[in-house]
Amino acid sequence: MLDAFVADLAEPGWCVVPDFLSDAETGTLRAECRQALSADGFRPAGVGSGQARIRSEIRGDHVLWIDESQAGPALKAVLEKLEALRLAVNQGLFLGLFDVELHFAVYPPGAGYQRHLDRFRDDDRRSLTVILYLNEDWQRDDGGLLRFWPAESVAPLDIVPTGGTLVTFLSDRFWHEVLPARRERLSLTGWFRRR
């Protein structure tokens, strides 16, 4: 799987991996996310770097930044899998990925995130976006699709946020948005970074 993953990142620069996590792994990680949500640790997501501004008309999710030292067993297992991906990408593509920053993201019904890139204008450390969906029994009609532009000259793709699916792409190349969801939408989202 890792060889195919690296090949897709080399060209076309993005990859969708269904069943990156099993249903059981996804369910356990979803439970950790919901437990943190019930403990009121989430905050409205901001826009921009540094002192991010809350702009609910641009993005409506709530996030909890991951502190690896406080990660539960399910999250620790996922961090190990992501570390294996980081090492494979570095070996195959020489991207110099150093670490990962992650957050749980929860979109309440009606929330989305307008079209954007995942790299700040003044900070190029974010190199590879990773999105791991935690949703249970998600259907296309539930909304919350990831609208993804593989190139400016082609129609966008709509990716269903099915639980266990991993989406990755080069952070500075691919425009994307989250369409409004009709039910609560959960993910573990972040970026492999360079120094």
Which pLDDT band, with edges at 50, 70 and 90, does 51 fall under?
Answer: low
Give the pairing type, strands 166-170 and 126-133: antiparallel
| pTM tops 0.85, yes or no | yes
> What tokens appear for 127 in the block?
């190199």
Q: What tens digit of pLDDT does each residue of 9-47 get?
A: 888 999 999 999 999 999 999 999 999 998 888 997 876
Sketch out the chain's domains with CATH numbers. 2-44+60-193 (2.60.120.620)
> What tokens appear for 31 in the block?
């439970």
Instruction: Give backbone dihedrals phi and psi of 168, rounded to 5 degrees, phi first.
Output: -135, 150
Distance CA 45, CA 96 (A): 28
Distance CA 91, CA 2 (A): 11
